[in-house]
Amino acid sequence: MDPDNLRALLAGMSEGSEGFSPLPNVVAEIDAIRAMTPSDVLLNADFRRETLHRELSGEPFGLVHLATHAQFSGTAGGAFLQAWDGPIGINELAADIELFRFRDAPLELLTLSACETAQGDDRAALGLSGIAIQSGARSAVGTLWSVNDPAAASLINAFYHAMLIGGESRAQALRGAQQELLAQRQYRHPVYWAPFILIGSWL
């Protein structure tokens, strides 16, 4: 992806909401990405269901990054990403992403930097990330289990830097970011770096 011709939508929750714990490293995560490519940002109280829908409906973003709590279950009604004003259901997310099918420029990458976003079951084995691909995103990055907030921020920063600044492919960038965490003593255990997976195009 060419950062000079890429427009990104970055949304996240660093503050706690509706019983979910704060994710303080989300701010640094979003700031790091914003420094690499032109971006619109929805953070905390600005990250609302209707606002996200309006942004995705009106702008041809090439990159959408959502950093928040999430849950996947066996029924469509039980799967969601957490926004400031409540959960964004899996069907809502799929409908918004599907809008990109009818545009000249596709959604190149959807990153779900959240807990358990790629975890699925027999009904939808790739979870929320799989739904994103089915709805038209060329690639999606998700996590297989709950992630450590500082580790996730570090990995995501390395991933985008390699891809947007270093010009590496999506697969190379993710592999390199995982290796960076593996090389750090505090993040050496696979629980910190292994849950991140790339679905769809690796280029």
- What's the CATH code of the domain at 130? 3.40.50.1460
pLDDT digits (tens, 9 = 90+) for 99-108: 888 888 889 9
Instruction: Report the C-alpha gap between 28 and 113 in whole angstroms.
Output: 13
- What per-residue confidence (pLDDT) applies to 124? 45
Q: Is the pLDDT of residue 114 over 80?
A: no
pLDDT band at 85 (very low <50, low <70, confident <90, very high): very high
CA atoms within 13 A on the CB side of 6: 22
- For 113, the enclosing helix (H) or strand (E) is strand 109-114
Q: Is the pLDDT of residue 28 over 90?
A: yes
pLDDT band at 130 (very low <50, low <70, confident <90, very high): confident
Average pLDDT estimate for 127-150: 83
Tokens for 50, please give them. 């209707």
Specify the number of domains making up the chain: 1
User: Domain range spanning residue 34?
Assistant: 3-200
- What per-residue confidence (pLDDT) applies to 145? 80
Instruction: Report the C-alpha gap between 8 and 19 in whole angstroms.
Output: 29
DSSP character for 161? Answer: I
- What per-residue confidence (pLDDT) applies to 42? 98
pLDDT digits (tens, 9 = 90+) for 35-81: 999 999 999 999 999 999 999 998 889 999 999 988 765 555 567 88
